[in-house]
Amino acid sequence: MTDQRVAIVTGASRGIGRAIATRLASDGRHVVCVARSQAPLDELVAEIQASGGAATAKPCDLSDFDATAKMIESVHEELGRLDILVNNAGITRDNLILRMTDEEWDGVIDTNLKSVFVACRAAARPMMRGKFGRIVNIASTSGLVGNSGQANYAAAKSGLTGFTKTIARELGGKGITANTVAPGFIQTDMTKDLPQPVIDGVKSMMAVRNLGTPEDIAACVAYATSDEAGFLTGQTIAVDGGMTMC
């Protein structure tokens, strides 16, 4: 059994997930990096190890619920413990509601919401046995205020909020906390090609008048998953530069 806290981070191969995995590793966690593709995970693990951290790659398609549960179980079996679960993986299938297909709805709900339920259910037992757990589910400000063209995405992310509050109540007496972090407009591959007028419009809605970075989200997750955050649970933390103020 490793003497380090073990953290699973899904969607770890790029963007926010990559920043979270890197930060948790720098804070001394053994980070299990999860995404669909092996190659970018291997690259991330190599970077973490080169910086003196501990990491493992676990490719997994989170829309395959059996595979997701088995992946969680395998981490506990191989490393002897599971302390932290960060559910970051997600997809978008944007469309206006009158044009949105059942497949676009189901795909986003399954990957962004049901897979989180499956992962948390699988992780809860080893965390209970260890009498310690930190669960952070990455939501979005779209789930707080809605966003045109994202009925599926907003519904999934809003669902994470209610789900996380519920498991916080169920698991709190077992030493397990559960919180939601809701990023606002973050500089990632998904946003870098947006026209400048769109970027300027978004900045005008923020109190800080600037876009966030993946590292801003990682810093919040680092605290919420720390040993010191035992009194923080059932909360939705909007890291959005003051855009929603809620």
- What are the catalytic residues? 153
Q: How many residues does the chain have?
A: 246
**CA separation for the pair 118, 216 (Å, rounded):** 27
The tokens 């209970």 sit on which residue? 128
Q: How far apart are CA 189 and CA 198, in angstroms?
A: 15
For 76, residues 6+ apart whose C-beta sits below 8 A from its C-beta are 82, 126
Which residues neighbour 190 within 8 Å (Cβ) at sequence distance 6 or greater? 15, 92
Residue 16, CB-side half-sphere exposure with 13 Å CA sphere: 28
What is the side-by-side order of every strand in the sheet holding 6-10?
Answer: 54-59, 30-35, 6-10, 84-87, 133-138, 176-183, 236-239
Exposed/middle/buried for 173, CB within 10 Å: 0-12, 13-18, 19+? Answer: exposed
In a 13 Å sphere around the CA of 136, the CA atoms on its Cβ side amount to 32
C-alpha span between 124 and 128 (Å, rounded): 6
